[in-house]
Structure 1
Amino acid sequence: MTMVPVLLSEWTKVKTVRSTFITLIAAFVVTVGLGALISFFTNNNFKNLNASERANFDPTSLSFSGVFLGQLAIIVFAVLVVGNEYSTGMIRATLAAVPQRATLLLAKAVTVLALVAPVALVTAFVSFFLGQALLGSHEAHLGDPGVLRAVFGMAIYMTLIALFSLGVGFMLRKPVLSLGLLMPFFFLISPILSAVPKVKNIAHYFPDQAGSRLAAVHESTTISYGPLAGFFICLVWVVAALGIGLVLLKRRDA
C-alpha cells in the first residue's frame, strides 16, 4: 500500500476523535496561560531578585515556563493516537489493511507532526509576545540575539516531545501504561535527578532538560551544552523511541 491512502486514513481517524482537538487546545491554553502568569508575577517581584538571579535572568525562556505543564496535553495526544486503537481493538483492522508496519508508523508520525507542529509554533510565538508584554521594562525583543531561534526552539521541542511520546505509545500500546511511564518521567524523575549532585549530569541528557536549552537565550550555569546539542539530544530520544516502537510492532503484531 502506498503512503497517501495510509496518511488519509490516519488523518480521518485522528480528526474524528474529540480528544485530538481538546488536548491540542489544552496544550496551547496551559502553556500560554501559565507562562503569562509567571511573567506577570516575575515583573512585579523583579526588585526582590538577588544579583545572581538578575544576572542570569532570561526573559525569553521565562515566557515559556508554561510548557512544563503544557507538554502534558501534548504527551496525552500523542499516546492516544496509538493507544486508542489498541484499546478499542481497531488496531487489528489497521494492521490488516496496512501490512507494512514501517509505513503505518511513519504515517502516524507524519500525522502527529502535521497537527502538533503548527499548534506548537503558534503557542511559542503567542507565549513569547504575551510574556514579554507582561514583563514590562524587562522584556526581550524578537530581534535580539538568539531570541527568534529560542522561539522556534520552543516549537521544535514540543513537536519532538510529541513524536517521542508516540514512540513510547507504540512500545507499550496501552494508554494508561504509556502515560504511567511518561508522566513520572517528566514530572518527577527528571526534576528530582537533575537536583541530585551525583546523577544530575546524567539527568541533563534527558529530553526535557535538553529541550530547555532549545528555548533559552542565555547560557546555562548548570547544563554544559547549547541549543544545537540540545536539539540533537532530543532527536536521539525520538529516533530511539520510534525505532524501538517499530521493532516491537513488527515482532508482536506481525
Structure 2
Amino acid sequence: MSFPAVLRSEWTKIRTVASTGWTLGTALAVTVAMGAALCAAVNATFEDMPAAQQAAFDSTQMSFAGMMLGQLAVLVFGAMVVGSEYGSGMIRTSLAAVPRRGSLLLGKVVVATALALAVGLATAFLSFFTGQALLGDHGIGLGEENVLRAVVGAGLYMALLALFSIGVSMMLRNSAASICILIAFVLIVPIVLGVIDATRKIAYYLPSQSGSAIMQTMSDGDAPYGPWGGFGIMVLWALAAVLGGYLVLKRRDA
C-alpha cells in the first residue's frame, strides 16, 4: 500500500471511531469554557486582588486556565488512536494491509498529530479571544509582546501531547493502561515533585512542565530554560515515545 493510501486509511479509522472525535471535541469545549469562566470571575474580582498579584497578572495565561482538562482529553485521544485497534483486534488487519510497520506508525502519527494540531490551534485562539473579551480592561491584544507565540504555542503543545500519547500507547498496546500511566506521568507526577524542594528541579524537565513553557508570556525565573528551550525538551519526549513505540511494533507480534 502506498503511503498516501496509508494516510487515507488512518484518516478513515480516526473519523469513524466516535470516541476519538469526542475526545478532541471535549478538549476544545472544556478548555474554552473553563478559561472563559475563570476570566469572567477574575474580571469581576480584579480590584480585590493584592497589588503584587495585579502587577504580575498574566492575562494570556489566564485564557488557558482550562488547559488542564484539555490536556486530559488530548492524552485520551492519543491513547485511543492506537489502543482502539489493539482492543478490537483490527491491528492484525492493518498490519496485513501495510506490512511495513514503520509506514503504518508514521501514517498514524501524521494524521493524528495533524488533527490534534488543528484542534489545538482552534482551541488556543478561541480560548484567547474569548478570555480577553471577558477580562475587559484587563485583557491584552494578540499583537502584544510574546502573545502570538504563546497562543500558537498552546496549539503546538496539544499536538505534541497527542504525539507523546500515541508513542506510549504503541508501547503498552492497551488503552486503559496507557491512559492511566499518561495521566499519572503528565498531570500528577509533576505536581507531586513540584511541592518538594528536593525534586522540584526534576519536575521542570517532565513533558507538561517543559512543554507548557511556550504558553507563558512572562519568564519563570526558576525554570532552567526559556519558552523555546522547554518546547524543545517536550519535542524530545514525544520523539522518544514514538521511537519506543516503533521498536515495540517492529519486534513484537500483534
- Distance change (3 Å), C-alpha of 1:27 and 1:243: same
User: 2 CA distance for matches of 1:221 and 1:56?
Assistant: 13
State the number of aligned residues: 254
State the shift of 1:53 in Å: 2.1
1:49 CA displacement: 2.4
Pairing of 1:64-143 with structure 2 (within 5 A)? 64-143=64-143
Q: Secondary structure at the match of 1:45?
A: helix
1:185 aligns to 2:185 (yes or no): yes
Question: 2:149 corresponds to which letter in structure 1?
Answer: R
Q: Normalising to structure 2: TM-score of the pair?
A: 0.96
Q: Percent identity?
A: 48
Alignment match, 2:244: 244
Whether contact under 8 Å (2:114, 2:159) holds in the other structure is no
Using structure 1 for the length normalisation, give the TM-score.
0.96
* Post-superposition offset of 1:51: 3.4
Q: Deviations over 1:83-141 (max 9, x none)?
A: 00100111111112111111111000011022111111111001000111111111111
Equivalent residue number for residue 36 of structure 1: 36
Runs of 5+ unmatched residues, structure 2: none
The residue aligned with 2:151 is 151
Distance 1:221 1:42 in 2: 24
- 2:135, 2:175 → 1: CA distance? 39
- RMSD value, Cα: 1.2
| Structure 1 consecutive aligned stretches of length 4 or more whose deviation exceeds 4 Å | none
**What residue is the counterpart of 2:207 in the other structure?**
207
After superposition, the C-alpha distances for 1:193-230 in whole angstroms (9 at most, x for unaligned) are: 12211111110111111122111101113323211101
1:147 deviates by 0.5
- How far residue 19 of structure 1 moved from its aligned partner, in angstroms, is 1.2
Letter in 2 for 1:246: Y
SS in structure 2 of the partner of residue 65 of structure 1: coil
Q: Secondary structure at the match of 1:163?
A: helix
Distance across 2 between alignment mates of 1:45 and 1:80: 40
Deviations 1:154-187 (A, max 9, x none): 0000010000000011010100000110112233
Distance (Å, rounded) in 1 between the aligned partners of 2:185 and 2:52? 30
Contact 2:14 2:21 in 1 (8 A): no
Deviations 1:19-41 (A, max 9, x none): 12211110100000011111111
Output the amino acid matched with 2:7: L
Q: Once the two structures are superposed, what CA deviation does each residue of 1:6-28 show, in whole Å capped at 9, x if it has no partner?
A: 11111111111111221111010
Contact 2:79 2:179 in 1 (8 A): yes
Aligned-partner residue type, residue 174 of structure 2? K
Query: 3-state SS of the aligned residue for 2:196?
Result: coil
Alignment-derived partner of residue 226 in structure 1: 226
With 43-52 and 180-189 compared, the bigger mean Cα shift is at 43-52
In 1: Cα distance, 2:194 partner to 2:159 partner: 23
1:52 Cα deviation (Å)? 3.2
